[in-house]
Amino acid sequence: MTRAWILLAIATASLAPASLATPALAAPKSSTVTGPGGITLRSVTVDLPQSDREFPGADAAAINNNCLTCHSAGMVLRQPPFPREKWAEIVNKMIQTYKAPIDAGDVPAIVDYLAKR
């Protein structure tokens, strides 16, 4: 639990400036820009769906606690089977290249989960 709340705090802190800089309340829905030929662009506000989906299974705590920060579970669950070394390479890429804040101690459990198929 602690780990998740720390991550939440990090994510909130890193995103807060962008959120505060342009208050969501401004919501200029009626705003338009029109150019020659009658082309008009209208401001857009959407709600992107979030995912509540978790990795299933009793051994999914590590993957659920670390991997949902950056992406939902669906694409991972749609991967074909890969050997453990391939999953280790993928998890390592997430950490080294994409800077996923994954506890080093959780890596074996994540790789085990993904490889166990």
Nearest CA to 56 out of 77, 78, 70 is that of 77
Is there binding between residue 68 and another protein (CB under 8 A)?
yes
5 or 104: CB nearest another protein? 5
Q: How far is the CB of 96 from another protein (least distance, A)?
A: 11
Are 100 and 66 a contacting pair, CB within 8 Å?
yes
- Residues 3, 111: Cα–Cα separation, whole Å: 19
Paired strand residues for 42: 32
| Residue 105 C-beta: closest distance to another protein, Å | 14
Taking CA atoms, 77 is separated from 44, 70, 73, 81, 88, in Å, by 32, 15, 6, 10, 16
Site for another protein in 5-64 (CB under 8 A): 5, 7-8, 10-12, 14-15, 18-19, 22-24, 26-28, 31-37, 39, 41-61, 64
Residue 85 touches another protein, criterion: CB under 8 A: no
Q: Which one among 82, 92, 106, 109 touches another protein, defined by CB under 8 A?
A: 82
